[in-house]
């Protein structure tokens, strides 16, 4: 499909001069290009639209499978809050665990990224190498055996707060590496100037460094938010009770059918859980792309 589009473009420019083709002929390659891109866009969007539609279908329509319902029913959102008693707790768990993780990881990454670039500690190269290797080793899968033991020794099995500790490390290595490449873009002289003005390393980091790396921070916020919000393996292994779990994990265990987990009710919960991330991303997308271009591609 795309090969055709590419060769067509070559043919197009040569023939366009000799004859007077119609609008379609002249823009053929562009039309095909946009058509192919939008086909992929459609494939990306459609499943989400389907869930959105599902959440506002009447119950009989939800079992029929038709995209457009015969009868709309907007009561499912209120219904899930009334009937699924753990829902507010699960939502709170998700928010609490995610924000804890994002805050701790960001602080760790900024401090470490700054120190690795501008304070040049001994063994810095070794730390960076270890962080890099951890990206390639299946740490998350293999370490679960030991992490269960650690959490058990700390009395953190079935504890929602306890999840934050292993969650922080899930994207810690990549966050530190992103921050490191962000701080490499900040000239060392800026920190020296701050030191001459009497600022210590902490103050110069806060006043000079953090404003310079804020695009990278946006990337780290989003990456860690997405990871913590949707984590499954650790949460389902380290907690047993539905009240201790995060919303997505409860949702993954729910079987669609009748009763409190009817299909539209499930879909309504889904929309509630997926929307915050999408909204946050839409607002932050400009900064996110900037940060991605500055930090990630060079890292």
Partner 1 sequence: MAQATAAQRIWIFRQGINTWLFLVPTLAFFVGYQVYPIFRVLWISFTDFQYLSNEPANWIWFDNYVEAFNDPLMWKSLWRATYFTLMFLPGTIILPLLLAILVDRVSNQKLATLYRVILLIPAVIPSTLIFVLWKWMYNYQVGPINHFLVETLGLFTLYNAPQWLGGTPLTLPAVAIMEVWWGLGYHTIFFLAGLAAIPKELPEAARIDGATEWQVFWHVTRPRLAPIMMILIVLRFGTAMAVIDEYLIFGGFNRDSPTYTWTIFMYDQAFKLGLWRQGFAAAIGMIGAIAMMIVMVILIRIFRPRG
Q: Interaction with partner 1 in 101-140: which residues (CB under 8 A)? A: 104, 107-109, 111-112, 114-116, 119-122, 127, 130-131, 134-140
**Under rule CB under 8 A, which residues in 11-70 are in contact with partner 1?**
33-34, 36-37, 40-41, 43-48, 50-51, 54, 62-63, 65-67
Q: Which of 95, 150, 199, 287 binds partner 1 (CB under 8 A)?
A: 150
The burial class, CB within 10 Å (0-12 / 13-18 / 19+), for 106 is middle
Q: Answer yes or no: are the C-beta atoms of 252 and 40 closer than 8 Å.
A: no
Interatomic CA distance for residues 101 and 103, integer angstroms: 6
* Total residues in contact with partner 1, by rule CB under 8 A: 99
Count of Cβ atoms closer than 10 Å to residue 231 Cβ: 22
Does 5 participate in binding partner 1 (rule CB under 8 A)? Answer: yes
Q: How far is the CB of 214 from partner 1 (least distance, A)?
A: 19
The answer to whether the beta carbons of residues 76 and 55 sit under 8 Å apart is yes
| Pattern 219-238, partner 1, x by CB under 8 A | ---x---xx-xxxxx--xx-
In this structure, what token pair is assigned to residue 38?
């939008």
Q: Which positions from 166 through 185 interact with partner 1, judged by CB under 8 A?
A: 166, 168-169, 172-173, 176
Binding-site member from 177, 208, 249, 265 for partner 1 (CB under 8 A): 249
Q: Which stretch of DSSP H or E encloses residue 220?
A: helix 214-229
- Closest distance to partner 1 from the beta carbon of 21 (Å): 20
218: contact with partner 1 by CB under 8 A? no
CB 38 within 8 A of CB 32: no
């Amino acid at each position: 499909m795309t090969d055709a589009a590419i060769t067509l473009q070559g043919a197009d420019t040569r023939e366009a001069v000799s004859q007077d083709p119609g609008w379609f002929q002249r823009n053929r390659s562009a039309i095909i290009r946009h058509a192919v891109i939008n086909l992929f866009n459609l494939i990306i969007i459609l499943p989400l639209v389907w869930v959105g539609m599902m959440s506002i279908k009447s119950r009989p329509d939800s079992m029929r499978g038709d995209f457009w319902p015969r009868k709309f029913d907007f009561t499912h959102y209120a219904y899930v809050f009334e009937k699924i008693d753990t829902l507010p707790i699960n939502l709170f768990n998700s928010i609490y665990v995610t924000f804890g993780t994002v805050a701790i990881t960001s602080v760790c990454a900024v401090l470490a990224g700054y120190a690795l670039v501008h304070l040049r500690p001994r063994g810095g190269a070794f730390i960076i190498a270890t962080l890099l290797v951890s990206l390639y080793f299946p740490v998350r899968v293999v370490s679960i055996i030991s992490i269960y033991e650690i959490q058990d020794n700390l009395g953190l099995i079935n504890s929602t707060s306890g999840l934050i500790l292993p969650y922080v490390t899930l994207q810690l290595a990549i966050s530190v590496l992103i921050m490191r490449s962000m701080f490499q873009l900040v000239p060392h002289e800026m920190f020296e100037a701050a030191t001459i003005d009497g600022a210590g390393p902490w103050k110069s980091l806060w006043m000079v460094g953090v404003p310079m790396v804020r695009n990278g921070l946006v990337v780290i916020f989003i990456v860690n938010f997405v990871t913590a919000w949707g984590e499954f393996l650790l949460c389902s292994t380290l907690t047993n009770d539905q009240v201790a779990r995060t919303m997505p994990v409860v949702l993954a265990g729910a079987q669609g059918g009748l009763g409190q987990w009817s299909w539209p009710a499930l879909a309504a919960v889904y929309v509630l859980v997926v929307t915050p991330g999408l909204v946050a991303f839409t607002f932050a997308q400009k900064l996110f792309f900037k940060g991605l271009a500055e930090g990630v591609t060079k890292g």
